Copies of this chain bind each other. A is one copy, B any other.
Amino acid sequence: MAVQTKATIASFGGKLLKLTHNASTTNCEMGFNLYLPSQANQQKVPLLIYLGGLTCTGDNGAQKGFFQHKASEKGIAVLYPDTSPRGLDIQGESDSYDFGTGAGFYIDATKSPWDKGYKMYSYITSELPETVFDNFQQIDSERVSIFGHSMGGHGALTLFLKNPGKYKSVSAYAPIANPSKCPWGEKAFSGYLNDKSEWADHDATELVKKWKGGPLDILIDVGTADNFYHEKQLLPEKFQQAAAENGQGGGVRIRFQEGYDHSYFTMATFADDHVGHAARYLFSS
């Protein structure tokens, strides 16, 4: 569970740590970033996990998301994991931007050879947070929230819905909200999973239909100029509709942001809202 510190960077009164560790779930060394706000010097702070989108590493959100702005004010640690294993030398691993390297989809692969290390579900829900809690005692393992962008929005929604009570809150930017029904998700699920019967268990729209964990309060931002929204890769309306069918329609708040696209400029603009959403749950008694 040892971590190596590659860099310590001052940011908004706290510290951004660039870290690596040898992960057994993913079968390789994994890099990640951890932001510790100044409050962590005096007291236990809660943790907000940010899951990145296709092609990203833990650096993109840390550099361009501006989540540290509000997290530093509220006293929240932010964890920026990578989006896949790296360098497993699986044939075809780096052939496309939307499968393999940089595209782990936050699921545990069941199909060979991907099952060798593409276990991002286990990595994000278990191994990485346990490593963080072990090494950073100032982080409160009982107060964890999650959010993400695009593929990471899919990850945040599904991890939240599959683990009632594990995360205090969830929000997403432009999530792939119904992956069984869009090209990105179909490619990933058919590539990583042995059987189509496994898909529903990793699809937020299917999961929310079966949610029994109490009233939902999910914040989702989607830009009206997001080309992937128009290409029907995201399908947030399907998620909304499925929640409504389960009597949770009011628990899914989708904000269509006029003129905003799929980029980090959108995330930075609404960063305070998403971190603030998490803060309301991380600091409620």
Q: Across the interface, which residues of B come within 8 angstroms of A63, CB to CB? A: 63-64, 264-265
How far, in whole Å, are A258 and B15 apart by their CA atoms in the complex?
12
Given contacts A64-B63, A69-B66, A69-B69, contact A265 B225 (CB under 8 A): no
Residue from A225, A264, A269 whose CB has the most chain B CB atoms within 10 Å: A269
Closest-CB distance, A167 to chain B (whole angstroms):
27
Task: Check if A13 is an interface residue, CB within 8 A of chain B.
Answer: yes
Interface residue count on the A side (C-beta < 8 Å): 25
User: When the two chains form their complex, are residues A265 and B16 in contact, meaning their CB atoms are under 8 A apart?
Assistant: yes
Contacts A63-B64, A64-B63, A69-B66 known; A13 to B268 CB distance under 8 Å? no
Within residues 232 to 285 of chain A, which ones have a CB less than 8 A from any CB in chain B? 257-261, 263-266, 268-269
Verify if A10 is at the interface (C-beta below 8 Å from B): yes
Q: Does A11 contact B (CB under 8 A)?
A: yes
Q: For A68, list chain B residues within 8 Å (CB).
A: 268
Tell me the complex Cα distance, A64–B267, Å.
12
Give chain B residues whose Cβ lies under 8 Å from the Cβ of A266: 10
From residue A195, how far is it (CB to closest CB) to chain B in Å? 41
| A69 proximity list for chain B (CB < 8 A) | 66, 69, 268
Q: How many copies does the complex hold?
A: 2
Q: Is A32 an interface residue (CB 8 A)?
A: no
Q: Does A12 sit at the interface, judged by CB under 8 A?
A: yes
Decide yes or no whether A75 CB sits under 8 A from chain B.
Answer: no
- Selected contact of A11 from candidates B10, B11, B265, CB within 8 Å: B265
Known: A16-B265, A265-B16. A10 touches B66 (CB 8 A): no
Task: Answer whether residue A81 sits at the interface, using C-beta atoms and an 8 A cutoff.
Answer: no
Complex CA distance for A34 and B69, rounded to whole angstroms: 23
Complex Cα gap A268–B68 (Å): 10
A10 touches B264 (CB 8 A): no
Which residues of A (163-184) have their CB < 8 Å from a CB of B? none
Among B11, B15, B16, B269, contact of A12 (Cβ-Cβ < 8 Å):
B269
> Does A117 belong to the interface (CB within 8 Å)?
no
Contacting residues, chain B, for A12 (C-beta < 8 A): 268-269
Q: Is the CB of A223 within 8 A of B10?
A: yes
Instruction: Give 3 nearest A-B pairs by CB, closest first.
Output: A10-B259, A10-B260, A11-B265
> What are 30 A-B contacts with C-beta separation under 8 Å?
A9-B261, A9-B263, A9-B265, A10-B223, A10-B225, A10-B257, A10-B258, A10-B259, A10-B260, A10-B261, A10-B265, A10-B266, A10-B269, A11-B265, A11-B268, A11-B269, A12-B268, A12-B269, A13-B269, A15-B259, A63-B64, A63-B264, A63-B265, A64-B64, A66-B66, A66-B69, A66-B268, A68-B268, A69-B69, A69-B268
